[in-house]
Amino acid sequence: MTPLEKTIRERIAAEGPMDVATFMELAVSHYYATRDPFGAKGDFTTAPEVSQMFGELLGAWAVDVWMKLGRPKFQLIECGPGRGTLMMDALRAAAKAPGFLEAAQIFLVENSPLLTEKQKTLLKDYKIEWVENLNSPIIQSSSEPVILLANEFLDALPIAQKAGEEPRTIIVDRGRLKFDPPRGEITETSSVRENFVREVAKLLKARTGTALFIDYGYEGPATGDTLQAVREHHYISALDFVGEVDLTAHVDFTPLKKAGMEEGLLVLGPVPQGDFLRRLGIAERADALLQNAKDMKQRGEVAAAHARLTSSSQMGRLFKVMAFCKSPHAPEGF
């Protein structure tokens, strides 16, 4: 039994069944605060860890957005930056655009002290500030345009589940954590996700700019249980190794689109990640890397990464890309 599972059992004993949103919030917060889960030696691999191409293309995308805004001073924000790999690759690519780095005030939104230290080490050559959320005074007090990136951030925000008309809860039964018996089809909502994207939308509405959300998910409405846990790259029960596994749920983009539109923003997508990356030029970037590869092993790695990011049987279709925009010109990729 993990320490967090012990805490949850005690809370259930004292307060009764625990709803899924509370369980997910506790588990995810503990997980990211206590480990580096990324890469082959961790629990899962995100797109920036698959290949430098992903971050480089997002860096070029950000440069294009900035140029369309008229090359102003601006805030570049990444939410959920992992090890800092995406930002490192993005800034390396964006640095080729004269004036971009000088105009950018860069922020990483991170709550994990462990990951913050890894990000500081990796990004030591850049001037970056760390904040815990978008309500930080240093972000809110500015009037500069915003370019925001959120890759695999929304999927880790807590969801609520209903089984039929009743909330789905977690109980202790015969010494084990279990979901209460099903009472109908499962539906999922996430007020936390909706509140977050509304925060982003209000920021853009007040100051102009563009936000890019990349995550695995669908356009609802839909029914079904998408809560999932991954440990060492294998799926396991969401109630096993509590607080020590990657716990996520698929993103329903429909209410998030609605939130952006209600704030008066242009909402683009969601489009499949593979289509988005192809429009940004991933095939050409892959060809350049192949030409510069030092041996067949490296060529194979580039080709495999290209396929993993774009193939409809891998990340290319399951992952979706959506943008919120308040700018005279729409961003590329859609």
In this predicted model, what pLDDT tens digit does every residue of 93-118 receive, in sequence order?
A: 999 999 999 999 999 999 999 999 99
Evaluate whether residue 246 is within a structural domain. yes
Is there a domain that residue 331 lies in?
no
On whether residue 328 sits in a domain, the answer given is no
pLDDT tens figures, 272-319: 999 999 999 999 999 999 999 999 999 999 999 999 999 999 999 999
Task: Grade residue 183 by pLDDT with cuts at 50, 70 and 90.
Answer: confident
Q: How far apart are alpha carbons 188 and 63 in whole angstroms?
A: 36
C-alpha 18: how far from its chain's center? 26
Q: 81 vs 44, 90, 204, CA distance in Å?
A: 14, 12, 20
Whole-angstrom distance, CA of residue 224 vs CA of residue 186: 5
Measured between alpha carbons, how far is 229 from 249 in angstroms, rounded to an integer?
A: 9
Residue 49: CATH number of its domain: 3.40.50.12710
- Per-residue confidence band for 156, with pLDDT thresholds at 50, 70 and 90: very high
Contact yes or no for 21/192 (Cβ under 8 A): yes
What's the pLDDT score for residue 11?
Answer: 97
**Dist. CA 260–CA 323, nearest whole Å:** 9
- CB-based contacts of 262, cutoff 8 Å, min separation 6: none
Q: Cα(103)–Cα(105) distance, rounded to whole angstroms?
A: 7
Pairing of strands 266-272, 319-326: antiparallel
Containing 218, the helix (H) or strand (E) segment is strand 209-218
Say how many domains are in the chain. 1
- Look-up of token digits 């995406």: 86
Residue 328 is predicted with a pLDDT of 86
Is 78 buried (19+), middle (13-18) or exposed (0-12) by CB count in 10 A? buried
| Any domain includes 329 | no
Within-domain flag for 330: no
Residue 182 clears pLDDT 80, i.e. is over it: no
- Print the domain residue range for 140: 3-321
Whole-angstrom Cα distance, residue 152 to residue 9? 29
301 Cβ contact list (under 8 Å, min separation 6): none
pLDDT, tens digit (0-9, with 9 covering 90-100), for 158-177: 999 999 999 999 999 999 99
Residue with tokens 């993990």: 2
Is residue 59 scored above 80 in pLDDT?
yes
DSSP bridge pairs for 149: 78, 212
Give me the mean pLDDT over the 126-149 stretch: 97
